[in-house]
Structure 1
Amino acid sequence: MPTGKVKWYDAEKGFGFISDDDGSDVFLHANALPEGVSTLKGGTRVEFSVAEGRRGTQALQVTLLEAAPTVSAGKREASRKSPEDLAPLVEDAIKLLDNASNSLRRGRRPEKDHATKLAAVLRFLADQIEP
């Protein structure tokens, strides 16, 4: 079976391309993905069977071999804050959320600056807390 790397994949469109080890592009349709997989990141190593379609080579029965390489995982570990340092940040996020909920109860969305700040804090905390 041929192997290659996902060149790109668009889950909304339901297709993408694999660059096989010979350098050829192979069409990848959502139907060829393994059960339970709805999207693939570029760079993910895959094994697949092929068939000739109307528009060229098409991947069938894709099997994931290894996830796409990432530099952010190691970087994230190195930049994670200690639990003691996170505690005040969580408390600040609670205050921001409380202010946002008060606005929402009055039928208004939070002001743009407040909403942007809240979203940034929540994203940061999610990255820090996620195992």
Structure 2
Amino acid sequence: MPTGRVKWYNAEKGFGFVSRDDGGSDVFLHRDALPDGVTELKAGQKLEYGIVDTRRGVQAMSVTLVEAPQRVKKAEPPVQRRSPEELHGLIEDMIKVLEDQVMPPLRRGRHPDRKQTAKIAEVVHAVASELEQ
């Protein structure tokens, strides 16, 4: 059975999409394919599923939850607040990294590499927590 991770799922509307582990096109996921009692899915949650080809593309069926969703750790607040000059430099560096590593694949209609964007997301979260203080 193919496996993948939940790209997004809207419980209110009852559908979402799964990113395939084999790199194929995203798979449509309808609430009817979920196991009994499962009403919500989190982004990043690993699934195993069957695939059926429909007129509108591939669709998941007989979904099995392989693992619980990954939890994002809340960044611990720093002991001392950074100076405005330091924060300005951090934000400039973050913008440069986003422009150099994230924007080019997006311009080509592709998602950036997951491993790379996970590290970048940590930096963005750290800067955001600095701004919240």
Q: TM-score range by the shorter chain?
A: 0.5 to 0.7
Distance 2:20 2:55 in 1: 19
Distance 1:71 1:14 in 2: 24
Structure 1 residue aligned with 2:26: 25
Q: State the shift of 1:54 in Å.
A: 1.5
SS in 1 for 2:40: coil
Structure 2 residue aligned with 1:120: none
Distance 1:71 1:45 in 2: 15
Amino acid at match of 2:51: V
Aligned counterparts, 1:117-128, within 5 A: none
Aligned counterparts, 1:1-131, within 5 A: 1-23=1-23, 24-72=25-73
SS in 2 for 1:31: helix
CA deviations over 1:22-50 (Å, ceiling 9, x no partner): 22200000000010000100000000001
Listed as ranges, the gaps of 5+ residues in structure 2 are 77-133
Listed as ranges, the gaps of 5+ residues in structure 1 are 79-131
Structure 1: 4+ residue segments shifted above 2 A = none
Instruction: Give me the CA root mean square deviation.
Output: 1.8
Distance 2:54 2:39 in 1: 22
TM-score, with normalisation over the residues of structure 2?
Answer: 0.53
Distance 1:11 1:50 in 2: 21
Alignment coverage as a number of residue pairs: 76
SS in 1 for 2:63: strand
* Higher gyration radius (CA): 1
Once the two structures are aligned, what percentage of the paired residues are identical? 61
Amino acid at match of 1:4: G
Distance 1:4 1:58 in 2: 13
